[in-house]
Amino acid sequence: MSEPTEDTAADADVADAILSLAGQRGPYTAQDRYRDFVKVFRSSPEGERVLRELLSWGHLLRPSIQGRPIDPLLMAIMEGERNFALRVLATVTKEPAARPEHATTERTDR
């Protein structure tokens, strides 16, 4: 059997992280998602570089229709990549509204 390499150790760390997330209890709220994305993507130069790379993969500044004749499969793939990039961008840039502590209703007497 071969010795563990740095790559297999990193893979094991990723697997452990995924398994620990699967065991978390409670809802993952929009506020939690926003805080996590900002912490990962905006708190360091490395995170900002990764964010820029993800957004560039989303072809945000290019049309989805490329070439002649139009390839519907390529167009669908590019739209999916664009949708992913837009969702990441929206999550990082727009803080969700805080939920009220309790609901209030106005009573109208007739």
Domain borders along the chain are 28-93
Asked if 78 and 86 count as a contact pair (C-beta separation under 8 A), the reply is: no
* Cis peptide upstream of residue 72 (ω within 30 degrees of 0): no
Residue-by-residue pLDDT tens, the chain, 110 positions: 455 566 666 767 776 666 666 666 678 888 889 999 999 999 999 999 999 999 999 988 888 787 789 888 988 999 999 999 999 999 999 888 877 777 777 777 76
Record the tokens describing residue 67, joined without a space. 């070439």
- pTM metric for this prediction: 0.62
Record the tokens describing residue 29, joined without a space. 């709220």
